[in-house]
Amino acid sequence: MIVTRKALPRRTLLRGLGATLALPLLDAMSPALAAAAKPIRRIGYCYIPMGAHITDWTPASPNGPLGELSPALKSLAAVKDHITVLTNLELRNAYPGTHATSNAAFLSAATAKWTESTDYHLATTADQIAAQSIGQATRLPSLELAMDLLSTVGQCDNGYACVYQNNLSWSSPTTPLPAEAHPRVAFERLFGEGGPADARRAELRKDSSLLDWVKEDIARLQNKLGAGDRGKVSQYLDTVREVERRVQKAEAEAATSKLQDLDRPIGVPASYADHARLMFDLQVLALQSDVTRVITFQLARETSTRTYPEIGVPDPHHPLTHNGGDLEKLAKVAKINAFHVSLFAYFLEKLKATPDGDGSLLDHTTYLYGSGMGNADKHDHTNLPILVAGGGRTPGGRHIRYEKAEPLANLHLTLLDRAGVRLDAFADSRGKIKELLSL
Using DSSP bridges, classify how beta strands 42-47 and 365-370 pair: parallel, antiparallel or unpaired: parallel
Residue 225: predicted pLDDT: 85
Cα-to-chain-centroid distance, residue 322: 27
Residue 198: predicted pLDDT: 54
pLDDT at 258 exceeding the cut of 70: no
Over residues 413-419, mean pLDDT: 96
What band does 151 get if pLDDT is binned at 50, 70 and 90?
A: low
Contact 29, 8 (CB under 8 A): yes
Residue 153: predicted pLDDT: 55
Q: Return d(Cα 190, Cα 282) in angstroms, integer.
A: 8
Instruction: Residue 191: count other Cβ atoms within 10 Å of its Cβ.
Output: 26
Q: Return d(Cα 256, Cα 267) in angstroms, integer.
A: 10
Residue 30: predicted pLDDT: 67
pLDDT at 194 exceeding the cut of 80: no
What band does 314 get if pLDDT is binned at 50, 70 and 90?
A: very high
Q: Return d(Cα 332, Cα 317) in angstroms, integer.
A: 9
Average pLDDT, the chain: 87
Contact 11, 278 (CB under 8 A): no
Question: Between 302 and 258, whose confidence is greater?
Answer: 302
Over residues 154-162, mean pLDDT: 78
Residue 261: predicted pLDDT: 45
pLDDT at 3 exceeding the cut of 50: no
- Judged by DSSP in three states, 21 sits in strand
Calculated CA dihedral for residues 67, 295, 286, 435, nearest 10 degrees: -40
pLDDT digits (tens, 9 = 90+) for 35-73: 445 778 999 999 999 999 999 999 999 899 999 999 999
Question: Between 8 and 390, whose confidence is greater?
Answer: 390
Question: Between 298 and 252, whose confidence is greater?
Answer: 298
User: In whole angstroms, how far apart are CA 130 and each of 121, 378, 381, 418?
Assistant: 20, 32, 24, 10
pLDDT digits (tens, 9 = 90+) for 324-378: 999 999 999 999 999 999 999 999 999 999 999 889 999 999 999 999 999 999 9
- Judged by DSSP in three states, 88 sits in strand
Lowest mean pLDDT among 28-32, 37-41, 398-402, 406-410: 28-32
Helix axes 227-256, 183-191, angle to 10 degrees: 150
Using DSSP bridges, classify how beta strands 294-298 and 143-146 pair: parallel, antiparallel or unpaired: parallel
What band does 273 get if pLDDT is binned at 50, 70 and 90?
A: very high
Question: Between 31 and 105, whose confidence is greater?
Answer: 105
Residue in 72, 95, 148, 146 with CA at minimum distance from that of residue 304: 148
Q: Return d(Cα 252, Cα 206) in angstroms, integer.
A: 11
Q: Return d(Cα 208, Cα 200) in angstroms, integer.
A: 14
User: In whole angstroms, how far apart are CA 357 and each of 30, 208, 223, 325, 423?
Assistant: 9, 32, 21, 49, 28
- Judged by DSSP in three states, 108 sits in helix
pLDDT at 23 exceeding the cut of 60: yes
Q: Return d(Cα 383, Cα 329) in angstroms, integer.
A: 20
Q: Return d(Cα 391, Cα 351) in angstroms, integer.
A: 11
For the chain, list the domains and their CATH numbers. Answer: 1-38+182-267 (no CATH), 41-179+293-436 (3.40.720)
Residue 222: predicted pLDDT: 84
Q: Return d(Cα 255, Cα 276) in angstroms, integer.
A: 20
pLDDT at 231 exceeding the cut of 60: yes
- Judged by DSSP in three states, 211 sits in helix
